[in-house]
Amino acid sequence: MNAHPKMPNSHSQALAKRAGQVIPGGVNSATRRLARPYSWDWAEGAYIRDVDGNTYLDYHAAFGPILLGHNHPGVNAAVAEALHGVDMVGVGVTEAEIRLAEKVVEHVPSAEMALTFSSGSEATYMAVRLARGVTGRSKLIKFQGTFHGWHDYLLMNIISSPEKIGQKDPGSAGQLQDAIDNTIVVRFNDLDAVEAAIAAHPGEIAAIFLEAIPHNIGCVLPRQDFVEGLRRLCDEHGIVLVFDEVITGFRHGLGGYQAKLGVKPDLTTMAKAIANGYPCAVVAGRRDLMMQFSTAPGGKVFVGGTYNGHPVGTAAALATIAALEDGSVYERTFRLGERMRTGLQEIADRLGIAMISAGYGSVFTPYFMDGTVERYEDLLRNDTARDVGFRSAMIEHGIFMLPLAIKRNHISAAHSEADVERTLDVAETVLKTMR
């Protein structure tokens, strides 16, 4: 199906057909399958091009990793350089791995030690196991609307339909019932609900998992008193507080969103923007907890992984962090993000369109609704058809925003002022047709 008649996509369609013969659904991750098939052959800076020659200004950023811009020369050079030395031996440690852990400890306020993995899901999985291992407890608390990766433990109640809210809403067939039973889902930004959940399961909660900003539903900011309350409750009840900063880590500052909140979790998971598109993820946190991983002598919480600390991801992360350290990327992307958010809001208000221009830093998400957003439940008022319609029309004008409702958009250091102004001009043209 060609959802955008003005843009050719016969080559993408042919590849999708071929892919479908040998790859289930023709894609390697579920959310990559869209109504219109895409295949890409070039990406640089803020731009991506499909195999039919359509070039787009990219705000999808590969679900978030691309913070410096696509194909960043410094990061690519560091990766190439890393491969001139040793590829992988798989015992001991490389100096690059040490430097990466040192950088995480230097920048992330709660990080005293760090372990490196390849993906965010591995990091959150290991944080779950560590929390259970050190507390001897089984239950986890997560919030409605948050996503923490593909494993059984936390894959539930993300984009729930209204009738599923307040119930267990598992994300996949084949999930272990025990994992579902042991995960308690609570309303976001509702400290009383967290307190009630803890009281209902005295001495049983191992960890509370918080997406530092729930960006898997766009951008819903945590209230400061909510996060401080979580910290207090975890201290009172011996619960491990985990900030999942897989999206927010390094994107919202070298110290992640915890630096802005001024609240220290016990463990933090990071991935995506730490390595600008290369596979790298980190679990970092309190020394006494981290020393319980079996990489340390006497540590009882098993951790392994052939590709942990892989030279490619590690070199990419070191080069990415080096490019972020003078702060100019944050100054620029936050400024452009602010311009985008206020610009979109101003256009919608002027045209009388119900829209909330949400976001933080380099992230922006227009919700097609009135009022305020404090939690996932509020987003049930979002007009999905208008949201997806807006995004699809933007794509037709050469501006790529994932054509799914309540998904976040990302600005990179490669986006220019002119790119943002052009985006706002196109948005105005599109929104005018939606009055």
H-run or E-run covering 115: strand 113-117
Residue nearest to ligand PMP (CB): 120
Query: Helices then strands (H, E): number in the chain?
Result: 13, 14
Instruction: Based on the shown chain and the rule CB under 6 A, indicate whether residue 124 belongs to the binding site for ligand PMP.
Output: yes
Instruction: Based on the shown chain and the rule CB under 6 A, indicate whether residue 365 belongs to the binding site for ligand PMP.
Output: no
Is residue 256 within 8 Å of 301, Cβ to Cβ? no
d(CA 279, CA 287): 25
Instruction: Based on the shown chain and the rule CB under 6 A, indicate whether residue 183 belongs to the binding site for ligand PMP.
Output: no
Closest distance between ligand PMP and the C-beta of residue 419, in Å? 24
For ligand PMP (CB under 6 A), the number of binding residues is 14
- Long-range contacts, stretch 73-81, CB < 8 angstroms, 24+ apart: 74/319, 74/322, 74/323, 75/275, 75/276, 75/277, 75/278, 75/316, 75/319, 75/320, 75/323, 77/319, 78/315, 78/316, 78/318, 78/319, 79/278, 79/312, 79/315, 79/316, 79/319, 81/315
Is residue 366 within 8 Å of 347, Cβ to Cβ? no
Residue 170, beta-bridge partner list: 156
Nearer to ligand PMP, 9 or 121 (CB): 121
Look up residue 205 and give its amino acid: I
> Which of 63, 243, 278, 376 touches ligand PMP by CB under 6 A?
63
Nearer to ligand PMP, 211 or 419 (CB): 211
d(CA 299, CA 301): 6
Nearer to ligand PMP, 213 or 369 (CB): 213
Nearer to ligand PMP, 144 or 423 (CB): 144
Instruction: Based on the shown chain and the rule CB under 6 A, indicate whether residue 117 belongs to the binding site for ligand PMP.
Output: no
Instruction: Based on the shown chain and the rule CB under 6 A, indicate whether residue 412 belongs to the binding site for ligand PMP.
Output: no
> Interface with ligand PMP by CB under 6 A: which range of 135-143, 144-152, 200-208, 360-368?
144-152
Nearer to ligand PMP, 9 or 183 (CB): 183
H-run or E-run covering 11: helix 10-22
Residue 211, beta-bridge partner list: 244
Closest distance between ligand PMP and the C-beta of residue 103, in Å? 19
> Which of 38, 147, 153, 257 touches ligand PMP by CB under 6 A?
147
> Interface with ligand PMP by CB under 6 A: which range of 13-21, 141-149, 227-235, 361-369?
141-149
Instruction: Based on the shown chain and the rule CB under 6 A, indicate whether residue 120 belongs to the binding site for ligand PMP.
Output: yes
d(CA 309, CA 252): 23
Instruction: Based on the shown chain and the rule CB under 6 A, indicate whether residue 280 belongs to the binding site for ligand PMP.
Output: no
Instruction: Based on the shown chain and the rule CB under 6 A, indicate whether residue 119 belongs to the binding site for ligand PMP.
Output: yes
**Subset of residues 227 to 256 that bind ligand PMP, contact rule: CB under 6 A:** 244, 246-247
> Which of 12, 54, 144, 216 touches ligand PMP by CB under 6 A?
216
> Which of 61, 96, 271, 414 touches ligand PMP by CB under 6 A?
271
> 3-class SS at 195?
helix
Look up residue 3 and give its two tokens. 């959802």
Look up residue 340 and give its two tokens. 């985008």
> Interface with ligand PMP by CB under 6 A: which range of 143-151, 255-263, 318-326, 329-337?
143-151
Is residue 317 within 8 Å of 274, Cβ to Cβ? yes
Residues that bind ligand PMP (CB under 6 A): 63, 119-121, 124, 147-149, 211, 216, 244, 246-247, 271
